[in-house]
Every structure is written in structure tokens, then in C-alpha cells.
Amino acid sequence: MEYYSSYITKLVEQLGSLPGIGRKTAQRLAFHIMNMPKDRAEALANSITEARNHVRYCSQCFTLTDDELCPICRNEKRNHKVIMVVENSRDLSAYEKTGKFDGVYHVLHGAISPMLGIGPNDIKLKELMLRLQKDVEEVIIATNSNLEGETTAMYISKLIKPTGIKVSRIASGVPVGGDLEYIDEVTLLRALEGRTEL
């Protein structure tokens, strides 16, 4: 049974389809948007449309950007010989908040998960291996500490070891089963500083 107009119902459905947004939160957001001044609601809609139309993957690290290269890859002060491999752009952002990592990143856009049908060819591994043909000294694997993250870390380690490039894994401190994007900066920093060679 519908309680609202079809426009509000459709807005609630669209908001509710976003990850982590349940029906009640979607309703709250929809009513908030309806009570916003019209120009603010239009600005919100326009920013979503513009971001969707202009944001793409960085041609080097595959994080989200609106240029050919993201600001981190463009920055000549960063150490381009050290690459941290993360599962997604949110994990990259979590490490950047520590302010202590001066290398560059590689975003996989997922992790190997045979149960979900995600194999090595479904994430950005080929692109990582192409980057390693340049002058790279170390690859830090910073995938999540769950089954998929550990599987991905071991797979990457086996690919890279024959090249002679140092491969390390972030240390404990990140709880098993935890997602990097929800972990505080101090814990992430300890995990980075205590990384071990694989």
C-alpha cells in the first residue's frame, strides 16, 4: 500500500537501493530532500549527475578521479617506487587520512572470491603487473583481513615474488573480518608500520 505520491515512493525506492540504506533511512532522506530549498535539491541532483558523467578511473592507479591521472599519481613528491595495493578507493582514502604513507596506490576494485564468482581476471591485477615493469622497489598489500582479502594477498604475492620486487603485507592491528574503511587512523598506521615481508 502506498502512503505517499508516486514521486516520493520512487525517490524512497531509489535511495533505498543504495548500500547501507534501509527503508526507514531512505524515507528520512526523501523527506529531508523534499524539505530542502528547491535550489539546494537541484544542486544535489546536479552534483550526482555531473560526478557520474565526469568521474572515471585514474589511468595509472585506477582510483576515481576526473582527470587522466589522480592527484596522488600526479604528485612528483610521492615515492612512485612503493605501491600500496588496496581493494577500493575507500581503503585508499582511509590510508591517506593517516598522512604517513608517501608512496602511491593501486586500486583492485574487488578481491578474489570464488564463492561469488570473482576471479583474478575480474579485478585490476593485469594492470598492476604492467605497472611493476617500471622502477618499483616494494609492493605493500593492504587488502582486507577477511578470507577474500587474504586469498587476494597470497595470489598477488605469488605473482610478484618471481620478479624480485619486495612484497609485504600490512601487519596485524587490523581486526580479522574488518573493513579498512571503518578502522581508525592510529590502527591503520600501526598496521602499515608493522608490515611484514611475504
CATH of the domain at 45: 1.10.8.420
Average pLDDT over residues 167-192: 74
DSSP 108: -
Supply the range of the domain harboring residue 135.
76-197
**pLDDT the model gives residue 173:** 64
Nine-digit cell at 168? 609485504
Residue 118 maps to a domain? yes
Q: Which residue has the higher pLDDT, 168 or 183?
A: 168
pLDDT of residue 180: 75
Report residue 1's pLDDT band, with 50, 70 and 90 as the boundaries: very low
Amino acid residing at 12:
V
Q: Region 152-168: what's the mean pLDDT? A: 93
- Distance, in Å, from the CA atom of 183 to the CA atom of 142, rounded to the nearest integer, reads 13
**In-domain check, residue 45:** yes
Separation between Cα atoms, residue 45 and residue 39, nearest integer Å: 10
pLDDT above 90 covers a percentage of the chain that reads: 71
Residue 126 lies in a domain: yes
120 and 83 both lie in a single domain = yes
Which tens digits make up the pLDDT trace of 78-112?
A: 999 999 999 999 999 999 998 889 999 999 999 99
Do 167 and 156 form a contact (C-beta atoms < 8 A)?
Answer: yes
Q: Are residues 24 and 81 in the same domain?
A: no
104 lies in the same domain as 179: yes
**Burial status of residue 90 (CB atoms within 10 A of its CB: 0-12, 13-18, 19 or more):** middle
The whole model's pTM is what? 0.76
Give me the pLDDT at residue 190, please.
Answer: 67
Region of residue 62 (phi > 0: left; psi between -120 and 50: alpha; otherwise: beta): left
Same domain? For 100 and 165 the reply is yes
Whether residue 2 is predicted with pLDDT greater than 90 in this model: the reply is no
Q: Are residues 37 and 120 in the same domain?
A: no
How distant, in Å, are the alpha carbons of 14, 39, 45, 113 from that of 103?
38, 41, 35, 27
Question: How many whole angstroms separate alpha carbon 42 and alpha carbon 18?
Answer: 20
For 34-75, give the secondary structure using H, E and C. HHCCHHHHHHHHHHHHHHHHHCEECCCCCCEECCCCCHHHHC
**Average pLDDT, rounded, for the chain:** 89
Same domain assignment for residues 180 and 89: yes
Residue 170 included in any domain = yes
Q: Is the pLDDT of residue 174 over 80?
A: no
The tally of domains found in the chain comes to: 2
Q: Which pLDDT belongs to residue 5?
A: 76
Class of residue 109 by CB neighbours under 10 A (exposed 0-12, middle 13-18, buried 19+): middle
pLDDT tens-digit series, residues 117-145: 999 999 999 999 999 999 999 999 999 87
pLDDT at 145: 79
The CATH number linked to 132 is 3.40.1360.10
Do 102 and 27 share a structural domain? no
Has residue 61 been placed in a domain?
A: no
As a whole number, mean pLDDT of residues 43-52 equals 94
Residue 60 lies in a domain: no
Same-domain pairing of 50 and 90? no
